[in-house]
Amino acid sequence: MARDKVFLTAQQLLLLKLETTYGADAAPSHANSFEAIALVDAFTLDLGQEVVEQSGGTLSRGRIRPIGTKRPVGVTFRSYLRGTDGVSMTATVKHPLADALRACGLQETFAAAAYTYKPTADVTSDNSVTIVAHQDGIEHRILGAQGNVNFIFAAAAPPIAEFNFRGILSTEASTTRAAATGLPTAIPPRWVDSGSLVVGSWFAEVENLNFNTNNTIFEQPASKAGSGSGIMRCVITARQPGGSMDPAASVVSSYDWVGAFRASSGAILQVAGGTQTGNKFTLTASQIVQKTIGWGDKSGLAIFNTDFEAYERSGNDQFSLILS
């Protein structure tokens, strides 16, 4: 029996590849390893369009059809922070999320079977990616994409990397794709016995923590734009990395959360996890300062709810992520 075509949210592919030239289609393919992203759940597209209205000269109180102008576009998706399956990283064996991380204003270096990601020094060092968001036969191609990553840690759960990209809309068309090949198969590390969190020198008891690159993305409009989107480029113009956490209240002699907040004093933050080769992570912020704090309750247990920002010590060193 023939049935009409329906579109399913579950039938998605998210393809992503680093561009060698800004805004030039890198042509990511579902057939190439690690160019398809293993998603936690369905991606979300932000398809925008600005218009100018026409309402004069018609002897009517209504408006005639508007004219479309700029077409901003973005995509948000989540992936587990999973690495290679028991295989040491090399100059050619990278983390499955390597390209996505680099497009969040992060510089990549490799040494001793580990990749390190730190904030880039200037715009000329930033990288961009081509993203293909495939929704059950309909594709949206996004070029020159740059964005943010928010690392989400919850007790006993695998860490999640939540990406939000802005880019230049290229084409939107019906396309047939096969299932992706080369998706990562490693079980992502849980933030439990293999994980730790250190604030200053105190091993804090935290259930939830997030850390966001918090880049400011400027979508530069210009008549020179190379596509009908009206957007010339996306530029990271500033960053304020930081996040939030919910530590259990502790005695002042262990760590004075309120005192540190009042003094705006800086503390090293380190979040680590994973025991398997190729599937370990360490996130270190060189100097976090609490920006807000408040008492909270968790089934009768007193906790603090605190927001923080990661500050520089010597320039572009707010944080680093080591994947090994």
Report the C-alpha gap between 75 and 45 in whole angstroms: 5
Torsion angle, alpha carbons of 304, 241, 170, 69, to 10: 80
Summarize pLDDT for 223-235 with one digit per residue, the tens: 877 677 899 999 9
> How would residue 222 be classed by pLDDT, with cut points 50, 70 and 90?
confident
Summarize pLDDT for 261-277 with one digit per residue, the tens: 999 999 999 999 888 89
Report the C-alpha gap between 26 and 173 in whole angstroms: 17
> How would residue 298 be classed by pLDDT, with cut points 50, 70 and 90?
very high
For residue 172, the one-letter residue type is E
Q: Measuring CA to CA, how many Å separate 130 from each of 16, 22, 160, 227, 321?
A: 6, 9, 22, 14, 23
The string of DSSP letters for 148-175 reads EEEEEEETTS--EEEEEEEEEEEEEEE-
> In the block, which residue shows the tokens 């968001």?
133
Residue 129: predicted pLDDT: 98
> In the block, which residue shows the tokens 């920002």?
309
DSSP 8-state code for residue 28: -
Report the C-alpha gap between 245 and 265 in whole angstroms: 17
